Amino acid sequence: MLSEHISRIDGIAIYPIISLIVFSILFIGTIVWVLRLDKKYLTRMENLPLDSNFDNNSEEIKFYNNPEK
Amino acid sequence: MQVEKFSYDNQIVKQFMIASVVFAIVGMLVGLIIAVQLYVPELNFGIQYLTFGRIRPLHTNAVIFAFIGNIMFAGVYYSLQRVCKARMWNDKLSQFHFWGWQLIILAAAITLPLGITTSKEYAELEWPIDLMIAVVWLSFGANMFGTILKRREKHIYVAVWFYIATFVTITVLHVVNSIELPVSLFKSYSVYAGVQDALVQWWYGHNAVAFFLTTPFLGLMYYFLPKAANRPVYSYRLSILHFWALIFIYIWAGPHHLLYSALPDWAQSLGTVFSIMLIAPSWGGMLNGLLTLRGAWDRVRDNPILKFMVVAVTAYGMATFEGPMLSLKSVNAISHFTDWTIAHVHIGALGWNGMLSFGILYWMIPKMWGTELYSKKLANSHFWISTLGIVFYAVPMYWAGIAQSLMWKQFTPLGVLQYPNFLETTLQIIPMYIIRSFGGLLYFAGMFMLVYNLIKTAKAGKFIKNEEAEAAPYEKDADKFKRGMIHRWLEKRPVKFALLALVVVLIGGLVELVPTFLIKSNIPTIAAVKPYSPLELQGRDIYIREGCVSCHSQLVRPFRSETERYGEYSKAGEYVYDHPFLWGSKRTGPDLAREGNKYPNVWHYLHMEDPRQMSPGSIMPRFPWLLTQTLDISTTPAKINAMRSLGVPYEIGYENFANQDLQKQADVITQDLIKNGIPAEPDKDIIALIAYLQRLGTDIKVNQATIK
C-alpha cells in the first residue's frame, strides 16, 4: 500500500537504476585496478606487517639490518 | 641512509586491553544472568534495576562497546603505530580517548539499569552520553589521522584502510541516528517517527554491526593473523577488492531487518539484493584469512593463537553466509522475531569477535611483556571450552527459533491456530534456554582461564612501556612502481582516501534514506489515528523505561498466522506519532500492536503485579513497583511541547491543560479497577501504562472505513 505512494514520487525508478550502475562501475573499476597493480608492490605490501625493520622507502624488501628478523 | 629512532606507545594498548578483559567479564556475566532470567524470572530478585528489559541493553552495550570496542582500540593502537612506523600522534589524546571511552561505559552502566534509554537498539544511551560519544570518537579519529599523516612508511597497509572506513562510517551513523529532541537532561524523543525512525534505526543497527564489529576486526585480522602465522596475507589484490566492495555494499543492506514490515517494498527488495551480494566481499575476506595459512596448517595444531583465529574467521564466514540467507523474505518470515536471530548474532559475537580478540590478546601480551605465553596448554583448554560454549549456545537457539516459529504458524486441519496461546510455544523451548545458558557459562568460564594465563604471563616478563624502533623518514619522491598508480596515489593520501570511503558509503546511505524522508509527506494518513493522550504518552515512556520492547514487538506482519493471532496487520500510517518507533526485533512474549481492549484493565493490573497470576508458567518478570511508584506528571507539559515541535498536532497551549486531561483519564481507569475489587490509586505508574496498553492498535478499530 505504501509502495503505491512511493511509486508516485517523481522519478523514483531512477534510484535502483542509479544503484546498479554506480555499483557496477565501482566493482569493475576496482577489479581492473587490482589486476594492474605492480607485483613488486604487492609483495612489499604483503610483507609490510611482518618485518618491523625493512626499509620503508624502498620498493623492494630490503632490510636495514638483522635480515633474519 | 639516515635512520630515525623513536618508540611505540605500549601503555595505551595495555590500558585498552585491561579494560576490554574486565568488561568482557562484566558483559558476559550480565548476558548469563538474563539468559537464566528467561527460565527463572525471579532472578531479578524483585529489584527493578535488574529486570530483563533494563539489563538486556546493558549486556549488548557492554559486549559491543566495552569488550569489543576496547579490544578494537587496543589492536588499532598496537598495529597502526607499527604499520605506520610512527608513535601515536599525541599521547595525551590517546589518554583522553581511553578515559573518555571508559566514562561513557560507566555512564551506560548507571543509566541503563535506571531505565534511562532511547529504546533504539545499540543506540540506547541518552543524548548527553551521545554527545560524549561523538567527542571521544572524534578524538580517536584525530589521533589516528595524526599518526597516519606523520608516518614514515609511504604506503598505507590494508588494515589501516579498514580502520579509516570504521572511523568515517561510525561517525556518520552515530550522528544521523542520534538526532533527538531533548525533553530533559535524561529524556529525549527521536526526531524521526514510525516507519522513518525504523528505517534510520536499522540502517544504523545493521551498519553498526558492519563498521564496529566487522571492518575494524577485518583490519585486525589483516595485521594479527599474518603476524601470528608469520607469513604474508594470501592475496593483497583480494584485500583491496573486498575492502571496496564490502564498504560499498554493506551500507545498502539495512532494510533486510524490516522485511514484511510497513516499509515500502522496493526498499525491502533493495536490502535483500545487496545482502545477497554481500556474500562475495565477506567471503573474500574470510578466504583471504584462511588461505593465509595455506601450507601452514600443521602450525595450527600446536599454536592455540592460530586456533582461535581460525575459528574466528570460520565463524565470520558462517555468519556472513547466514546473514544473506536470513534476508531472503521466505527465510525471514520464519526467522524474524525468534531466537534464530539470537543464535546468528552470537555466532558473530562469540565466534568472530570473541575468538579473534582472545587470539590477539594471547599474541600481544607476551610481545609487550617481552616473554613467552605462560601456558599453551591452558590456552588450548580455553580454546576448547569456548568453542564448545559456542556450540552449546548456538545449536539450541537455532532449534528454539525454528521450533517456535513453526508453532506460531501451525494451523489445524479446521483452519484455526493450533497453538492459539502464545505462552504454550514459549514453554516448549524452555529446555533450549537452559542448554543455551550452559553454553554461555562454558564460554564465560573460559574467560577466567584467559585472565589467569595472561596475568601469569605478564608477571613472568617485564612490561615494555615504550618499545624502541627505528625507520628512515618519509621520502617524498616519485612513485617507483610501474603500474596501478591510482590506488597507490590514493593510499598515500589518507585524507583523500577517507573522503572517498565516505562518498562510497554515503551513496548507499542516501539512496536508501532520501526516499524515506520523502515518505513523510507521502505517507497515507489514517484519519482515525490520533496523537496519544497525555496519560498514554506517559505510559508509553514507562513502556520504554522498562524495556518492554526487548521482548514484545509492535508490528503485525501480513501473514494469516499473525492476523489470526493478533488482528489486522500493521499499517505505516498507524505509527506517524511514534517518536521513537517501538516495533521491536524479538518476540519473547506476544506482539502488542493490537493489545488495546483485548483484556480488561484489571487483567493488566494483576498481570503486572505478577504475570503468573494471569498466565501460569509465564516467563515475564513481575513489575510490582509500577503499582506503588507515583507517576511524575511534572514532565507532561515539556513532553507535549517536544512532541508538538516534532510535528504531533497537539493544539497550542494544550500543555497547560494536559495534566487535567491526564487526571481525568486516570480517574476513569482507577474507578474501573476499584469496581473490580482492586484498591488502585490514580497517581501510580501502572495507571499510565494500562492507558497506553489499552490504546495500542485501537485507532483503526474505531472506524474501519478510514483505513485504506
CB contact under 8 A, B524 and A59: no
Cell of B105: 561505559
Which value does ipTM take for this structure? 0.73
Mutate to test the interface with A, among B487, B492, B520 (most CBs of A within 10 A): B487
Paired residues of B467 in beta bridges: B8
Q: Which residues of B touch A41 (CB under 8 A)?
A: 155, 481, 484, 488
- Per residue in B101-122, pLDDT (tens digit) is 999 999 999 999 999 999 999 9
* Nearest-CA distance A68 → chain B (Å): 13
Which residue from A minimizes the CA distance to B250? A23
Distance from CA of B81 to the nearest CA of A (A): 11
- Among B425-434, B487-496, B583-592, the minimum mean pLDDT is found in B487-496
DSSP B537: H
* Host H or E run for residue B662: helix B658-675
Q: What residues have CB less than 8 Å from B612, skipping those under 6 apart?
A: B618
Angle CA(A18)–CA(A19)–CA(A21) in degrees, nearest 5? 65
Report the DSSP beta bridge partners of residue B684.
B630
Cis before residue B621, ω within 30 degrees of 0? Answer: no
Distances (CA, A) of A14 to A3, A7, A9, B186, B269: 15, 11, 11, 42, 15
pLDDT at B519 > cutoff 80 = no
3-state secondary structure at position B506: helix
Q: Are B91 and B7 within 8 A, CB to CB?
A: no
Task: Say whether pLDDT at B302 is over 50.
Answer: yes
Contacts of residue B438, Cβ cutoff 8 Å, sequence gap at least 6? B392
Q: How many CA atoms lie within 13 A of B527 on its CB side?
A: 6
pLDDT at B708 over 50: no
Q: Which residues pair with B5 in a beta bridge?
A: B470
Please state the φ and ψ torsions of residue B557, each to the nearest 5 degrees.
Answer: -80, 155
Q: Give the model confidence (pLDDT) of B208-235 as tens digits.
A: 989 999 999 999 999 999 999 999 999 9
Can you name the residues that pair with B393 across neighbouring β-strands?
none
Q: Where are the alpha helices (DSSP H) in B278-354?
A: 279-291, 297-302, 304-326, 329-335, 339-346
Name residues 13-32 of chain A within 8 A of B (Cβ). 15-16, 18-19, 22-23, 26-27, 30-31
Among residues B153, B122, B288, which one has the least CA distance to residue B219?
B288
Give B337's strand partners: B586
- Between strands B180-184 and B466-471, the pairing is unpaired
B26 Cα to chain A: minimum distance (Å):
33
Per-residue pLDDT reduced to its tens digit, B173-195: 999 889 999 999 999 999 998 88
Alpha carbons B334 and B408: distance in angstroms, whole number: 9
**Residue B218 or A58, more confident:** B218
Angstrom distance (rounded) from CA B625 to CA B603: 17
B1 vs A contacts (CB less than 8 Å): 55, 57, 64
Q: Please tell me the distance in Å from A42's CA to the nearest CA on chain B.
A: 6
How close A63 comes to chain B (CA, Å)?
10
Q: Which of B80-94, B243-257, B436-450 has the lowest mean pLDDT?
A: B243-257
Dmax (CA) for chain B in angstroms is 93
Mean predicted confidence (pLDDT) in B159-178: 93
Length of chain A: 69
Backbone angles phi, psi at B469, to 5 degrees: -155, 165
Tell me which amino acid residue B470 is. E
Query: Please, what is the average pLDDT of chain B?
Result: 92
**What is the percent of chain B with per-residue pLDDT over 90, rounded to a whole number?**
79
Alpha helices (H) in B584-630, listed in sequence order: 601-609, 611-614, 625-628
Query: Looking at residue A65, what is its pLDDT?
Result: 42
- Helices B355-368 and B304-326 meet at what angle, rounded to 10? 150
Could you tell me the CA-to-CA distances from B294 to A31, B231, B232, B289 in Å, in that order?
A: 24, 10, 11, 10
Q: Identify the residue with better confidence: A33 or B426.
A: B426
The answer, for B576 touching chain A at a CB cutoff of 8 Å, is: no
Q: Of B536, B505, B483, which Cα lies nearest the Cα of B664? A: B536
Q: Grid coordinates representing B674?
A: 476499584
B497 in A contact zone (CB under 8 Å): no
Residue B700 has pLDDT above 70, yes or no: yes
User: What is the C-alpha separation between B275 and B22, in angstroms, rounded?
Assistant: 35
Task: Please report, as a single letter, which amino acid is at residue B637.
Answer: P
Range with the lowest mean pLDDT among A5-9, B29-33, B593-597? A5-9
pLDDT at B12 over 60: yes
Query: Residue B634 phi/psi, 5° resolution?
Result: -70, -20
Interface contact flag, B241 A31, Cβ < 8 Å: yes
* CB atoms A12 and B266 under 8 Å: yes
Buried b (16+ CB within 10 A) or exposed e, B342-364: bbbbbbbbbbbbbbbbbbbbbbb
Give B320 to chain A, closest Cα distance, Å: 20
Label residues B203-231 b or e (16+ Cβ within 10 Å = b): bbbbbbbbbbbbbbbbbbbbbbbbbbbeb
Q: Do A9 and B572 touch (CB under 8 A)?
A: no
pLDDT category at A57 given cuts 50, 70, 90 is low
Per DSSP, the three-state class of A26 is helix
CA distances to B139, B155, B676 from B152, in Å: 22, 9, 79
* Separation between Cα atoms, residue B358 and residue B362, nearest integer Å: 6
| Whether the predicted pLDDT of B369 surpasses 80 | yes
Give which of B276, B311, B304 is closest to B290, Cα–Cα: B311
Cβ distance B398 to B343 under 8 Å? yes
pLDDT band at B256 (very low <50, low <70, confident <90, very high): confident
Whether pLDDT at B1 is above 70: no
CA distance A34 to chain B (A): 5
> What confidence tens digit (pLDDT) does each residue in B653-686 have?
999 999 999 999 999 999 999 999 999 999 999 9
Element (H, E) at B7: strand B4-9
Contact B397, B436 (CB under 8 A): yes
Distance CA(B667)–CA(B225), nearest Å, equals 66
What span, in angstroms and rounded, lies between the C-alpha atoms of A30 and B575? 42
Are the beta carbons of B584 and B56 closer than 8 angstroms?
no
Q: Which H or E run includes B9?
A: strand B4-9
Please give the average per-residue pLDDT across B558-565, as a whole number: 94
B391 has pLDDT over 60: yes
Percent above pLDDT 70 for chain B: 95
- Which chain A residues are within 8 Å of B223, Cβ to Cβ? 49
Q: Which distant-in-sequence residues (6+ apart) come within 8 Å of B602 by Cβ? A: B672, B673, B676, B677, B678
Q: How large is the greatest C-alpha to C-alpha distance in chain A, in angstroms?
A: 71
CA angle B376-B381-B384, nearest 5°? 125
8 Å CB contact between B640 and B650: yes
Cβ neighbors of A41 (< 8 A, separation 6 or more) are: A59, B155, B481, B484, B488
Angle between helical axes of B376-409 and B430-460 (0-180°, round to 10)? 160
- Chain Cα centroid distance, residue B102: 18
Chain A residues closer than 8 Å to B83 by CB: 48-49
In chain A, the residue whose alpha carbon lies closest to the alpha carbon of B5 is A53
Please determine, for residue B3, whether its predicted confidence score (pLDDT) is greater than 90.
no
Which pLDDT value is given to residue A34? 86
- Round to whole Å and give the CA distance between B337 and B320: 19
- Residue contact A33–B484, C-beta within 8 A: yes
Mark yes or no for CB contact B264/A3 under 8 Å.
Answer: yes
Output phi, psi for B5, to 5 deg. -100, 140
Q: Are A8 and B248 an interchain contact pair (Cβ–Cβ within 8 Å)? A: no
Cβ neighbors of B364 (< 8 A, separation 6 or more) are B13, B17, B74, B75, B78
Which chain B residues are within 8 Å of A37, Cβ to Cβ? 236-237, 240, 483-484, 487
